[in-house]
């Protein structure tokens, strides 16, 4: 396959950027990849593990001459990073991002960019609870969705080229409007994370009462919440602060449903509970049918628990 971009710059070198690097190299999709991260420690790690063809000591140096610049930093600093790199962008370059919220990122980044570059916001719906330059792997995006949100007036060619890159990295790609993206993600990702954080927080509050039994006897339900609740604190703080309206809307609906289930338990309304759980089980089935999770029991974990 011929190269889709000659020069790519990754700003931020964590889970998503490192996975992109390995996936781009796996597919031979691009030429030289430069990278920059805020701390010298992360840049040193990147150099040690061969993450990026060239690790630069400033964002400006990394983006110089790049045909594609990918902002892989937390949502809350996207605007500041865009302001920093703007003067060095090559005319005709494409700037994209991988942030988990889209309306805020578009509003924070667009005003800083010169008219002669294209900004196409993006969001790969793939991740793990790990972060940092050593957490990435080439397969992260395989068979996962990547949503692209081109700003109004963006010509077709740069959007198609970016789509081609994500497809080469294994993703299925769709374009979407920013507000719609933020609402869909509030349901599928943001509210569930907040609920997991809350459940683990409640268990932690009860620790004294239960004498650490929640940890010792951690069964599937709680254990799965702890995996989600181990996600990066900076990233998730920024997600909630920047997708406020959609998250609050979904949490309002969640609270209403929770009250209804609470009432069913109190009044012994078994039919309500059974109907509800039947409906939710069907959703799990449709996720498996869509190829978005494994059908193996307990998410395919080995039965052997090693300490
Ligand atoms: P990560 O592993 O925590 O890495 C973040 C990177 O950003 C680090 O290299 C960090 O540098 C760098 N950084 C932070 N502030 C910076 C600044 N002001 N200037 C330059 N670099 C800066 O994060 P991630 O999981 O890859 O997430 C990156 C983006 O992807 C976020 O916007 C997130 O919303 C989005 N996303 C994440 C997931 C997921 O599951 N993790 C999924 C989809 C999308 P240092 O190491 O030097 O601090």
What does the DSSP 8-state code read for residue 86?
G
pLDDT (0 to 100) of residue 303: 57
Ligand 1 geometric centre to CA of 110 (Å): 19
Ligand 1 geometric centre to CA of 16 (Å): 7
Q: Which parts of the chain register pLDDT below 70?
A: 1, 209-210, 220, 301-307
Output the CA–CA distances (angstroms, integers) from residue 108 to 46, 76, 186, in the order listed. Answer: 28, 9, 19
8: left (phi over 0), alpha (psi -120 to 50) or beta: beta
Ligand 1 geometric centre to CA of 131 (Å): 8
Ligand 1 geometric centre to CA of 272 (Å): 42
pLDDT (0 to 100) of residue 243: 98
CATH superfamily of 180-295: 6-phosphogluconate dehydrogenase C-terminal like domain (1.10.3660.10)
Q: For a pocket test of ligand 1, which of 235, 239, 240, 241 has the largest count of ligand atoms closer than 8 A to its C-beta?
A: 235
Output the DSSP codes for 206-235.
THHHHTTHHHHT--HHHHHHHHHHTS-HHH
Ligand 1 geometric centre to CA of 73 (Å): 4
Cα separation, 159 vs 172, in Å, equals 14
pLDDT (0 to 100) of residue 302: 67
Question: For atom 19 of ligand 1, which residue has the closest CA?
Answer: 38
3 state DSSP class of 31:
strand
pLDDT (0 to 100) of residue 296: 80
Q: Where are the domains positioned within the chain?
A: 5-176, 180-295
Architecture in CATH for domain 5-176: 3-Layer(aba) Sandwich (3.40)
Taking CB atoms and a 6 Å cutoff, what residues make up the pocket around ligand 1? 11-17, 37-39, 42, 72-75, 77, 81, 98-100, 123-124, 127, 131-132, 232, 235
Q: Tens digits of per-residue pLDDT, 248-260?
A: 999 999 999 999 9
């Amino acid at each position: 396959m011929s190269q889709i971009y000659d020069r790519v710059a990754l700003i931020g070198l964590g889970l998503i950027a490192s996975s992109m690097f390995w996936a781009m190299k796996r597919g031979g999709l691009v030429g030289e990849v430069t990278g920059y991260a805020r701390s010298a420690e992360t840049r040193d790690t990147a150099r040690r593990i061969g993450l990026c063809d060239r690790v630069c000591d400033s964002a400006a140096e990394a983006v110089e001459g790049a045909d594609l610049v990918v902002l892989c930093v937390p949502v809350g600093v996207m605007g500041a990073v865009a302001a920093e790199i703007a003067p060095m962008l090559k005319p005709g370059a494409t700037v994209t991002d991988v942030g988990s919220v889209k309306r805020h990122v578009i509003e924070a980044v667009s005003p800083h960019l010169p008219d002669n570059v294209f900004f196409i916001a993006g969001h790969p719906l793939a991740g793990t609870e790990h972060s940092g330059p050593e957490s990435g792997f080439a397969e992260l995006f395989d068979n996962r969705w990547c949503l692209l949100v081109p700003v109004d007036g963006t010509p077709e060619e740069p959007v198609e080229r970016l789509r081609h890159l994500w497809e080469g990295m294994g993703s299925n790609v769709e374009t979407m409007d920013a507000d719609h993206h933020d609402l869909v993600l509030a349901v599928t990702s943001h509210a569930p994370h907040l609920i997991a954080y809350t459940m683990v927080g409640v268990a932690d509050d009860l620790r004294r009462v239960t004498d650490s039994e929640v940890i010792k006897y951690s069964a599937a339900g709680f254990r799965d919440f702890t995996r989600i609740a181990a996600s990066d604190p900076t990233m998730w703080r920024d997600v909630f602060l920047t997708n406020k309206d959609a998250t609050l809307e979904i949490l309002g609906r969640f609270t209403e449903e929770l009250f209804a289930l609470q009432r069913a338990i109190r009044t012994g309304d078994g039919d309500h509970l059974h109907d509800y759980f039947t409906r939710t089980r069907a959703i799990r089935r449709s996720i498996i049918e869509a190829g978005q999770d494994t059908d193996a029991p307990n998410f395919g974990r080995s039965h052997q628990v090693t300490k």
